[in-house]
Amino acid sequence: MRKVTLRMNEQEKYEVIKNLVEKKGNKAIASIKLNCSLRTIKRLINKYKTKGKNGFIHGNRNLKPSITISDDIKKQIIELYNSHEYNTSNFTHFRELLLNNKNIKVSYSFVHKLLSKTGISSPKCHRITKKRKAKAEREKQKMLNLKTTENQLTEQTSEGSTTTPVITESSRIIPNSLAHPRKPRAKYFGEQIQMDASDHRWINDEKWHLHIAVDDSTSAILAAYFTPEETLIGYYHVMQQILTKYGIPYAIKTDNRIGL
């Protein structure tokens, strides 16, 4: 016997109607549970009695709508727009050309969605659309660079070993191409910690000094401590937080001086 698999809403209807029929429950309560009328409950009861579980499968399941555009037409539209004859047209004009020259009738929203999904932008698109697309491309390239770096690190560290090391945020390498243009960032978390103090009227309009430590690789704030003045004791407290939570950093930079 073929196994019948119902979707979540279909399974809910089936279980409610099954309990209603087998345990002789209340139709009014069942209509409240399913948020439908009593007439619909009676119709579902008849389905259960005549077809069983199969009666709760939606009739349109696995059927494509009659207006569905075939994959061949989609491929043809993309190839036509990439051709020299059409690639200078905006999406509205391109849709008109498809209808007049190729007898392909599609909506503007379909053309826009199809071409945008393949990375094609209209030559007449707004500046904000160009910026959004450029940002998405940069983020995509950034993720590819990080993935490539992770793979290289895995291959290098696993040579001669039977196990593959686990790549965590603390061991992630930032590619040099993504580092700050004026000063290369540290590649590893904890390789260099930057410390400084900022004076501001933080509390009750009184000037306090916030001592802070930032990881140079990830820009993560590792520790912070308030004192009335910038003092060595403030940095001691910041250092205590770092050692307790993260361990010993490789280098600490404060006021252009590096301590190892």
pLDDT at 171: 47
Average the pLDDT over each of 24-38, 123-137, 146-160, 200-214 and give the range with the smallest value: 146-160
pLDDT at 259: 44
Average the pLDDT over each of 131-140, 159-168, 184-193 and give the range with the smallest value: 159-168
Burial 234-248 (b: 16+ CB within 10 A, else e): bbeebbeebeeebee
Span 38-94, pLDDT tens digits:
999 999 999 888 988 888 887 666 666 666 788 888 888 888 888 878 878 888 888
Sign of CA dihedral 123, 128, 132, 137: positive
User: Does the model's pTM come out above 0.75?
Assistant: no
pLDDT at 153 over 80: no
End-to-end CA distance of the chain: 73
More confident residue, 184 or 17: 17
Cβ neighbours for 10, distance < 8 A, ≥ 6 positions apart: 56, 57, 58
pLDDT at 95 over 60: yes
What value does the mean pLDDT take over residues 162-189?
A: 58
- Confidence grade of residue 126 (pLDDT, cut at 50, 70, 90): confident
What value does the mean pLDDT take over residues 119-137?
A: 78
Q: Tokens representing 122?
A: 């209209």
Q: Tell me, what amino acid is at 43?
A: R
- Confidence grade of residue 167 (pLDDT, cut at 50, 70, 90): very low
Span 60-75, pLDDT tens digits:
666 666 667 888 888 8
Question: CB-hemisphere CA count at 13 Å for 24?
Answer: 0
Q: Tokens representing 136?
A: 């998405």
Cβ neighbours for 228, distance < 8 A, ≥ 6 positions apart: 207, 208, 209
